[in-house]
Amino acid sequence: MDHSSLAGRIFRGVALALVLVFFMFPIVWILLMSFQTNEQILRIPPHILFEPTLANYEALISGQLRTAAGNLEISFMRNLMNSFVLSSAAVLLALLLGVPAAYAFARFKFRLGESIAFTLLSFRFAPPLLVLLPLSLYYQELGLNDTYFGIVWVYQLIALPLILWIVRGYFEDISPDIEHAYRLAGHTWREAFTRIAVPLAGPGIAAAGLLSFIFCWNNFVFALILASADKQPVTVGALAFVTASGIQYGQIAAAIVLSVTPTLLLALYAQRYLVEGLSLGAVKG
Q: For other proteins, which is the closer residue by CB, 65 or 197?
A: 197
Q: What Cα–Cα distance (Å) separates residue 241 from each residue in 13, 75, 251? A: 41, 9, 9
Does 36 engage in binding with other proteins (CB under 8 A)? no
Shortest Cβ distance from residue 276 to other proteins (Å)? Answer: 8
Q: How many residues bind other proteins (CB under 8 A)?
A: 99
Q: For other proteins, which is the closer residue by CB, 208 or 238?
A: 238
Phi, psi of 74 (to 5 degrees): -115, 135
What's the CA angle centered on 241, arms 236 and 242, to 5 degrees?
A: 100
Per-residue mark of binding to other proteins, 48-87 (x: CB under 8 A): ----------------------------------------
Span from 55-63, 72-80, 154-162, 195-203 in contact with other proteins (CB under 8 A): 154-162
Query: Which stretches within the chain are classed as H helix?
Result: 6-33, 38-42, 55-62, 76-107, 111-124, 128-142, 148-173, 176-184, 189-192, 198-200, 202-218, 221-226, 234-244, 249-269, 271-278
Shortest Cβ distance from residue 136 to other proteins (Å)? Answer: 9
Q: For other proteins, which is the closer residue by CB, 65 or 252?
A: 252
- 128 in Cβ contact with 62 (< 8 Å): no
Does 209 engage in binding with other proteins (CB under 8 A)? no
Does 248 engage in binding with other proteins (CB under 8 A)? no
Q: Give residues with Cβ within 8 angstroms of 250, minimum separation 6.
A: 33, 34, 36, 37, 38, 40, 41, 53, 55, 56
Q: What Cα–Cα distance (Å) separates residue 22 from each residue in 8, 37, 47? A: 21, 25, 19
Does 37 engage in binding with other proteins (CB under 8 A)? no
- Residues 252-271 interacting with other proteins (rule: CB under 8 A): 252-253, 256, 259-260, 263-264, 266-268, 271
Does 15 engage in binding with other proteins (CB under 8 A)? yes
Q: For other proteins, which is the closer residue by CB, 71 or 174?
A: 174
Does 167 engage in binding with other proteins (CB under 8 A)? no
